Structure 1
């Protein structure tokens, strides 16, 4: 809980800090990477730094956390903290890195706001920072204890399957021959590759195979430089996705983290479920469907997916096969072109989809898609607390100004 004097100071200064938070985070990353260039080379996503999306996500999380402390005294934003902590754990973030972040963040704050950062203001925001940092450290400690600690393990690629023109699935087994930790459907792993310039970049990929298998399976969409980042900067080609597509084949070895992620199935056998995806967002939901099919889930399951065309629908056969094994499943496929019999032409629209009372929904796909589906679900009576989501890349939902993310 934020102390009363600090709460008053944060409330008074939040509009000023919020208005400048984008510039503050830009200065922060510039200072951090100047002092620790290895972090940009081996930890942070260079593409997200180039487009500014990582800065937007950091700004949104800080402002959102501070606003929550003011709006809900005594109650932590566990959904926000949990999502950040899972991402940190997959990257191997350690407690000793938090003072480093604090040093450069507050230096940036002082640079941008100047004399407005009085000792009282600095102390109040320092309290906000350490409330957030210490909560994350505690959650990450529990995640590490559950998963065997931070670190990476070597995995050999045993199979490579081309799903579409731009999506490849990799199946891997541990090089050491040891047991494979069971994951929860919907989780992801960090994958580290060494790029031609020597950078050891990490990316997170959802596990798209069934939990309980002795292999790890993830599916990678090749990211091209179309579109732009959150601040209008041109988006570069995905370094890691293109490297995996071009250079990784059976017999090659990759380093993977333990599974992490908080978008996981958590429902009773009779709970109505709705799994909605678009594009490569299908991957965590395929694992959920595989898990439900293996368990013989008896409850109703509504499957919704949107894509450009059937040919662009990665894991389409698995999507339909797993759903077909569920007695209570209804499948709604939306394609912008080439829709077949029983399929819909156009963008995902839930107007004609039966959504049962008590439905728990899981969403993954582009942010505009998830916002639209969430709005439609709430309009059909689904409780906001029962709509869960996963964002590939920096989570810009809080940065968009919403104080109620769909978690």
Structure 2
């Protein structure tokens, strides 16, 4: 990727882009909020592809601002952000972002830069960013073209959305329900790597636009179905309920048909390592890790495995039986255990995960996979770094737009 950028961008352009880094640091989110507002006004059909809840909460503009800043910082060597590029490209492929949509994004991104920065955004600055955006867009288009081909050409693969029947719906906890899915056409369907996700497209009665959401595949990759385990996101503190999760929980029943894109995602289990492995999940963050747990028990039955899960209490603890399997050292933390939890003794630690406790139950030389709410992720990451665990040992992914773990 860096070779393509160097061939495309001259030194003057690179210098001009790098000179805008302080402006992006101070005005980045204002620019991206302006960008989304203007783009959706001009192209309302794109609302069918974007999570509008994340838009209103400001999560998506912040994530885009971080991505634009990272591209500017590494404009001479985009290989430095290859993992981020691939992660975003996987989401784009899953959402069916196509090459013809990149010029629309570029037009409104440049327009937002001009609108927010005013006279500071000279013609030279805008021209430099136009060239830089073109080079970066080409990188994404090429990476995504390969991903589309891989998804389509694999055994049982497909492109676009495919109809799947809900063959079973099962309540896993007070908040989480699993949906077992098989192709409506009863033909073969693509295998997935433990940790990957699918995109669900929902046409909800009364909604002006379709809604798309990405859900981790929580099941065993060897089964003849996909399984997603979805948390019901109810309205809290004047916020709005999760439209798609509520639709799945209340409207979708066994026998119904929903539409999915092929499995995607870079947060996958690596079976080539022989190091001990530690899975750490918080709440519904257990979904990709339970799938990974199934994978490691099949592929590497002799590998030392520790599973740590944090939840409020037993009533919201889903898939518990799948965590307690032979050969796995399982530890459960409840922050608000009920009297029934205490009577049953079905948790080990009350409160929250901390480094001193983590040192007692996990090995420092392990590979760590963790997933959960942003605050939980930050605690896990900072605890592991304080312990001296290297970046190479850490594997994680956010649900929704990424946030900062080290800030």
Give the TM-score, by structure 1 length: 0.90
How far does the alpha carbon of each residue in 1:283-326 deviate from its partner, in whole angstroms, 9 at most, with x for none?
00010011112224312112111100122111111122xxx23x
Counterpart in the other structure of 1:396: 403
Q: Is the contact between residue 381 and residue 406 of structure 2 (CA under 8 Å) also seen in structure 1?
A: no
Q: Which of the residues 181, 190, 193 maps onto 1:181? A: 190
- The unaligned stretches of length 5 or more in structure 2 are 1-5, 153-157
Verify: 1:344 aligned to 2:349, yes or no. Answer: yes
1:401, distance to aligned residue in structure 2 (A) = 7.9
Secondary structure, counterpart of 2:188 in structure 1: coil
Counterpart in the other structure of 1:152: 161
How far does the alpha carbon of each residue in 1:11-38 deviate from its partner, in whole angstroms, 9 at most, with x for none?
2221113311111111111111111111
Q: Which of the residues 22, 27, 46 maps onto 1:15? A: 22
Counterpart in the other structure of 1:314: 318
Counterpart in the other structure of 1:281: 285
Secondary structure, counterpart of 2:99 in structure 1: coil
TM-aligned CA distance change 1:311 to 1:350, over 3 Å:
farther
1:184, distance to aligned residue in structure 2 (A) = 0.1
How far does the alpha carbon of each residue in 1:191-215 deviate from its partner, in whole angstroms, 9 at most, with x for none?
0111112422110000011112211
Paired with 1:297 and 1:341, the residues of 2 have a C-alpha distance of: 25
Q: Is the contact between residue 273 and residue 359 of structure 1 (CA under 8 Å) also seen in structure 2?
A: yes
- The unaligned stretches of length 5 or more in structure 1 are 228-233, 403-407
1:126, distance to aligned residue in structure 2 (A) = 2.2
Q: Is the contact between residue 207 and residue 216 of structure 1 (CA under 8 Å) also seen in structure 2?
A: yes
Deviates more, 1:282-291 or 1:343-352: 343-352
Q: Which of the residues 56, 70, 74 maps onto 1:64? A: 70
Q: Is the contact between residue 269 and residue 298 of structure 1 (CA under 8 Å) also seen in structure 2?
A: no
CA RMSD in angstroms, aligned pairs only: 1.8
Deviates more, 1:56-65 or 1:154-163: 56-65
Counterpart in the other structure of 1:76: 80
Give the TM-score, by structure 2 length: 0.90
Paired with 1:342 and 1:364, the residues of 2 have a C-alpha distance of: 19
Q: Which of the residues 171, 191, 205 maps onto 2:200? A: 191
Verify: 1:93 aligned to 2:94, yes or no. Answer: no
How far does the alpha carbon of each residue in 1:28-80 deviate from its partner, in whole angstroms, 9 at most, with x for none?
1111111111111x21112112211111111111112212336xx46331111
Paired with 1:51 and 1:375, the residues of 2 have a C-alpha distance of: 25
Counterpart in the other structure of 1:254: 258
1:337, distance to aligned residue in structure 2 (A) = 2.6
Q: Is the contact between residue 197 and residue 265 of structure 2 (CA under 8 Å) also seen in structure 1?
A: yes
Counterpart in the other structure of 2:332: 333
Q: Which runs of 4+ in 1 moved over 4 A?
A: none
Counterpart in the other structure of 1:220: 230
Verify: 1:28 aligned to 2:35, yes or no. Answer: yes
1:380, distance to aligned residue in structure 2 (A) = 2.6
1:264, distance to aligned residue in structure 2 (A) = 0.2
TM-aligned CA distance change 1:8 to 1:165, over 3 Å:
same
1:341, distance to aligned residue in structure 2 (A) = 5.6
Paired with 1:350 and 1:10, the residues of 2 have a C-alpha distance of: 41
Counterpart in the other structure of 2:155: none
Paired with 1:75 and 1:52, the residues of 2 have a C-alpha distance of: 28
Q: Which has the higher contact order (CA 8 A, sep 6+)?
A: 1
After TM superposition, the structure 1 = structure 2 runs for residues 38-53 of structure 1, keeping only pairs within 5 Å, are 38-40=45-47, 42-53=48-59
Q: Is the contact between residue 69 and residue 75 of structure 1 (CA under 8 Å) also seen in structure 2?
A: no
Counterpart in the other structure of 1:109: 113
TM-aligned CA distance change 1:401 to 1:281, over 3 Å:
closer
Counterpart in the other structure of 1:361: 368
Paired with 2:55 and 2:127, the residues of 1 have a C-alpha distance of: 29
Deviates more, 1:26-35 or 1:126-135: 126-135
Size of the aligned set, in residue pairs, is: 386
Q: Is the contact between residue 71 and residue 78 of structure 2 (CA under 8 Å) also seen in structure 1?
A: no
After TM superposition, the structure 1 = structure 2 runs for residues 362-377 of structure 1, keeping only pairs within 5 Å, are 362-377=369-384
Counterpart in the other structure of 2:145: 141
TM-aligned CA distance change 1:125 to 1:273, over 3 Å:
same
